[in-house]
Structure formats: structure tokens, C-alpha cells
Amino acid sequence: MAFPAPSPGRTIRVLIVDDSAFMRRAVERLLMAQPGITVVGTAADGLEGVQRALELRPDVITMDVEMPRLDGVSAVGEIMQAVPTPIVMVSTLTHDGTATAIRALEAGAVECVGKPSGLSTDLANVGEKLHEAVVRASLTRLQRRKPGLVSGRPMVVLPAAPGPSATARIPAHNLLVIGSSTGGPPALTEVVPHLPGDLPAGVVVVQHMPSGFTNALARRLDSLSPLSVSEAQEGEPIVNGHVYVAPGDFHLVVTREKRIHLDHGPSLHGVRPSVDITLDSVTAVYGRSANVAILTGMGKDGAEGAAKLEAAGGRVFVQDEATSVVYGMPRVALERTSHATQLPLDQIAAALATSLPGLRSTR
């Protein structure tokens, strides 16, 4: 995605929440060094963070994951209920740290970045990523909503076949692609787990997310889904009933042999992985036997690929504006295609599943 710049004359007011005094100072220095950002306050734990959010009403909050009194996930949940504010999680790149960051995204946070180590080179690198994440977060639209509901409607859940999937390990002759960016992790938890367990297709998920977090996202989706979900590995075959999450910092390409290839080539639209690069390969290999859903996200990644897939006979679904955290990628995909179907998030899973041949009409 093209990196957004703050609006001219607009200052983004940031609250920093971290239990480390060193890290609070480091994050403050990194952000204050960037134009258009000012730090309006800090908090030493989640409980103080909630209180300061209510007092200061910042534009964006950066939030540590593991803190005393009230952890980052709980703090996100309380803030999103009391005073919905865009939150960027600043997480250690450990198994527990990234897993907790994913749960914070589900609770309402909109971005995540790795916590700097304190080395000058690492601080500079993280500073740029943190600045970009804060600017993106400031452009999101948030609203109070109950967990498990979108726009107040119950989620449509497709029943899975009982017992082990009969389609497991069968080479996939059909493929579903799901592309998402800002707001994507919670949206994915309301799509992937609601695909049926006997889905006669493989599924590829391309979520714009830094390296280190996509494996945690895959583990989280796997724990919620009747389908098997994993971070994609080089050379593995695409089979029915399996979801492959593109790893952060790699483009996921589908080969002629219907296997996964991970490409560390140049970023596209400022991102790697790119939905467009995945869709280009999917269109060449699967053609009309593939369908795509473009979910919430900033920018235009996925739009050109969706148009090419549609021209080859595949179907395109886009998330509607009312349920999108950022109505960027879905809007551009809708504009670039001729017959895309726009749907609220709670109808995307059913639309994807029933768009494939071989599913029982009773669904």
C-alpha cells in the first residue's frame, strides 16, 4: 500500500502505554522525531492507560502487550467499549508476545509492530514502521460493537461435516483467496472459522502483517476453525480443506504444480506479501476455479488481481463499507471489477463456500 501521510496541518495526538520507562521514552523519541505527531501522554500499565485514554482522548494509542494490573488485551477491550480509539500494539517477537498481539487485534486494535530491542539500528528501523502504523491507525474508523457481531447481526455459520474431513489431503482443484490489511485479523476470525470443514478447495490468506506475526495469526485461526490453518511453507502442495497464511515479508505465489512458492522479491504497493502478486499466479493456474474475497484494508492491493481473476471466470466478493475498518481495498476492487458482489462481513464465508461446485445445496 502507498504509505499515507498525515493531512496537512493535522497533528496526530498519541498516548503511549508501556510498563517499561525506558520503552516509553524510546517510543516517545521515535514518534516525536516524525512530522505531524505529538505525544500527549504516557501510562505505565493497562489500567492507567484506560484512565489516560478517557482523560486525554488521543487520536492513537500505542499499547504494550504484557503489563501489570491490566494487560494489553484487556486494556484494548475496555478502551474499545468506553472510548473507541485506534490502537497500535507494540509486541515482543516471541511466541507468547505475538499470540497475545493477535488476540489484541481481535479485541479491537488495528495495527501491530515488533518492539525495538534498544539497539540504535533496530530503534531506527522500528521507528519508521511505528510511525507508518500510527498514521495508518489514525485513518481508521472504529465503532463499539459486541464480540461476535457485525453491525448488530448474528454471524452466519456454515455447518461442518462430522468427523475428519473427507476432502483432507486431496489436491485442490478449486481455490479461495482472501486478501486483507488494516482491520484484517479480526475480520479473518469472522470468515475463516465459518468456512465448512469439508470445503472442497484450498484457501490462501494474504494479510498485510509484519514478519513474526503471521505465524501467530495462523495458529489463532487454526484454533478457531474446522479447517486446518498454518503459515505457508515453501514447496508444500495445495490441498482441500487447508488454509495457507502468507508469511510476513514474503509474497505467496502458486506454481503450475499447485504448490506454494515463497518469493522475497520487491514489495508491491509498499507491501510484502501482496494480494495482487498472489492473484496473478492464482489466475494463471486456477482461472475460473478460483474465487477471491477482498476484506478491509488501506490502499488498492488486490484490485488489479481481482479484475484479472474475474476476467478469467472467477468470482469476486468485497466487504462492504459499513463493516470495514478501512474501506480502501474493497472499494478499489469494486471499482476495478465489473461484477463483484459487495457483502457485509458476516455473509462473506457463506458466499465463498457456496460459490464453489460440489457443496450440498442444503447449505
Active site residue 301: yes
Please state, in angstroms and rounded to a whole number, the distance separating the CA atoms of residues 138 and 124.
Answer: 21
Instruction: Given the residues 301, 324, 346, 355, select the one marked as catalytic.
Output: 301
Please state, in angstroms and rounded to a whole number, the distance separating the CA atoms of residues 17 and 4.
Answer: 24
Distances (CA, A) of 219 to 9, 92, 190, 224, 294: 42, 17, 15, 9, 22
Given the DSSP bridges, would you call strands 251-254 and 260-263 parallel, antiparallel or unpaired?
Answer: antiparallel
CA angle 94, 263, 298 (to 5 degrees): 70
Grid look-up 522525531 returns 33
Grid cell, residue 89, equals: 500494539
Instruction: Given the residues 91, 138, 165, 181, select the one marked as catalytic.
Output: 181
Instruction: Given the residues 208, 242, 251, 269, select the one marked as catalytic.
Output: 208
Active site residue 355: no
Active site residue 208: yes
- As annotated, the active-site residues are 181, 208, 301
